[in-house]
Amino acid sequence: MSKLMTMQDAVAEFVHDGDSVAIEGFTHLICFAAGHEIIRQQKRNLELCRLTPDLIYDQMVAAGCARKLVFSWAGNPGVGSLHALRRAVEKGIPNPIEIEEYSHFGMVSRFVAGAAKLPFYPLRSYAGSDLPVANPRIKSLRSPYDENDEVYVVPPLNPDVSIIHVQRADEQGNAQMWGLVGVGKEAAFAADRLIIVAEDIVDESVIRADPNRTMIPGVIVDAVVHEPYSAHPSYTQGYYDRDNDFYLEYDGISRDQEKLEAWLDEWVYGVSGRVEYVEKLGEGKMAGLQPGEAYAEPLNYGSYR
Amino acid sequence: MTTNEYTKSELMIVNAARELAGERVVFVGVGIPNIAVNLAQRTGSPDMEMVYEAGVFGARPTRLPLSIGDPCLVTGSTLACGMPDLFMYYLQGGLIDVGFLGGAQIDRYGNINTTVIGDYENPKVRLPGSGGACEIALLAKKIMIITRMQRRRFPEKVDFVTSAGFLGGDNEREKLNAPGKGPTVVVTDVGVLRFHPETHEMYLAALHPGATVDQARENVGWDLRVADELGATEPPMTEELHIIREELDPKGIYRK
């Protein structure tokens, strides 16, 4: 059965006020289209989880969607600060938000525990750091096999809904990704509800021809959204480059709440969805972000009849 | 051939790249560390394996990655993997020789703060946070740091220890269950600082051309010790500057 839905319907059905939400993707495959739809539908009191909040959570915080942020590195990657997030943390604008902070390895381990349905996950980080003081959910534990070996543990992260952008999926949600896959797979398995957003919808036979590249099986997927360019200004490996100019430009836009609200009015509330957003960017924009070609050699899985 | 025309940032980047000579597996941080490590790979250390926390081993970027998740890191790399693999098997598994970090604040004993200035609950300035730095500081065999020398960046004691250095000095780090030896060098735009082998206090080891001891001492928040035999760094080579300006940072984002 096809799980194809529009972004509007998928967000309306599977993202609820008060949910914990993980729109994952480490620099790569960040589903801005889903974040913008959540802003348009004025979802409220969300607990936003991501290793790197990036511009998308900065915009969702500025739009008043968030009550809490769970993260490990909150900056504009390669540029500087996330200004809306800083306004919310430092000044409570537009609303105060609670933060729960880890390191990358801590967040990675939380998603692994969430995906594997474990009560916690051990890691060799945090010794000597003040992070466990700031966040008492980071605890230490002695190994039951060696009392001299002390590790830290973090709790599982099981988002109410995860939204994962991929290069291609079939209509059942069997999804293939390549390039930096981050914690996309773990965030998918950890979630109660899962939305897959794909650049291309392909026939099941395309998936079956290259099973090693399938990161997410359709059996755990609730909705499949076909929405090209959903990751802009982030990128999709092999499809379009990161719009680094926008990441730089956003620094100026986001320093001022009014200016950022005007940007949201124009680029989020002012468009019906990603198709209109891409049209508004103009033909030259996405064309200018097309990468050159670098194909892998075809490989032989073998036919065994 | 050396030259006299360069910026302070270029001087810092060149010296950081030289510190990496001969190193094999380097975990690369975002920003200026990125450009310094890429310079090292293209000059003295062609066999260097650049590892990025985003999930890349053996990157061979053909342009300067603006972010540490740039697509150019994947194309042509030895290996791209999920972040659990990268942190568990590569970093925690002990494969990283050098963790190369930038620091918002670094103190007398090499502790790094990238979390908050002021109180955690009511911060004066909210910084980005740990990213992978907290674990890199414990798990990489050693840590190198590159940062501009300014008094606000070099307090006697950081407001918040994001990533442990030598904590309060002497043998305090040895009490941690940490396989890595901690920070070995801090490359700045004034000179190069290292850590005393016993007290683990940071001291001035070498000055860049034109820089003075007073300049260094004015820019740290404690009574900075100076090496008995203070070194002097060599000015940048034309070739190094060419790579920075033409290949790595043609837009001049980092070298200003």
For chain A, 305 residues long, give each residue's pLDDT as a single digit of tens.
899 999 999 999 999 999 999 999 999 999 999 999 999 999 999 999 999 999 999 999 999 999 999 999 999 987 889 999 999 988 999 999 999 999 999 999 999 999 999 999 999 999 999 999 999 999 999 999 999 999 999 999 999 999 999 999 999 999 999 999 999 999 999 999 999 999 999 999 999 999 999 999 999 999 999 999 999 999 999 999 999 999 999 999 999 999 999 999 999 999 999 999 999 999 899 999 999 999 999 999 999 99
Q: Is the pLDDT of residue B1 over 70?
A: no
pLDDT per residue as tens digits for the range B14-40: 999 999 998 999 999 877 888 899 999
Percent above pLDDT 70 for chain B: 99
Give the DSSP letter of residue A218.
G
List, as ranges, residues 143-182 from B with C-beta within 8 Å of A: 160-164, 167, 173, 176-179
Q: What is the pLDDT of residues A108-121, one digit of tens each?
A: 999 999 999 999 99
Rg of chain B in Å (alpha carbons): 17
Residue of A nearest to B65 (CA): A78
Q: Quote the pTM value.
A: 0.97
Q: With left for phi above 0 and alpha for psi between -120 and 50, is residue A29 left, alpha or beta?
A: left
Choose, out of A27, A86, A154, the residue to mutate when testing the contact with B (most B CBs < 10 Å). Answer: A27
Q: Which residues of A262-282 are buried (b: 16+ CB within 10 A; e: fewer)?
A: ebbeebbeebebbeebbeebe
The C-alpha atoms of residue A40 and residue A38 are separated, in whole angstroms, by 5
Alpha-carbon distance B127 to nearest alpha carbon in chain A (angstroms): 7
Active-site residue flag, B53: yes
Kindly tell me if the per-residue pLDDT of B123 is higher than 80.
yes
For B126, the closest of A90, A150, A183 (CB atoms) is: A90
| B132 min Cα distance to partner chain A (Å) | 5
Q: Which domains does chain A have, with CATH numbers?
A: 4-102+158-288 (3.40.1080.10)
Per-residue pLDDT, B34: 85
Cβ burial of B51 (10 Å; 0-12, 13-18, 19+) is: buried
Do the Cβ atoms of B177 and A126 come within 8 Å? no
Flag whether residue B69 sits within 8 Å of chain A, measured between CB atoms: yes
Contacts of B55 in chain A (CB under 8 A): 26, 180-182
Which residues of chain B neighbour A28 with C-beta distances below 8 Å?
Answer: 54, 69, 71
Tell me which H or E stretch contains A187. Answer: helix A184-190
The domains found in chain B, sorted by start residue, are 8-248 (3.40.1080.10)
Q: Is A75 close to B128, i.e. CB distance below 8 A?
A: yes
Q: Is the pLDDT of residue B141 over 90?
A: yes
- DSSP secondary-structure letter at A130? S
A-proximal residues of B, 6-25, CB under 8 Å: none
Residue of B53, B121, B156, B239 marked active site: B53
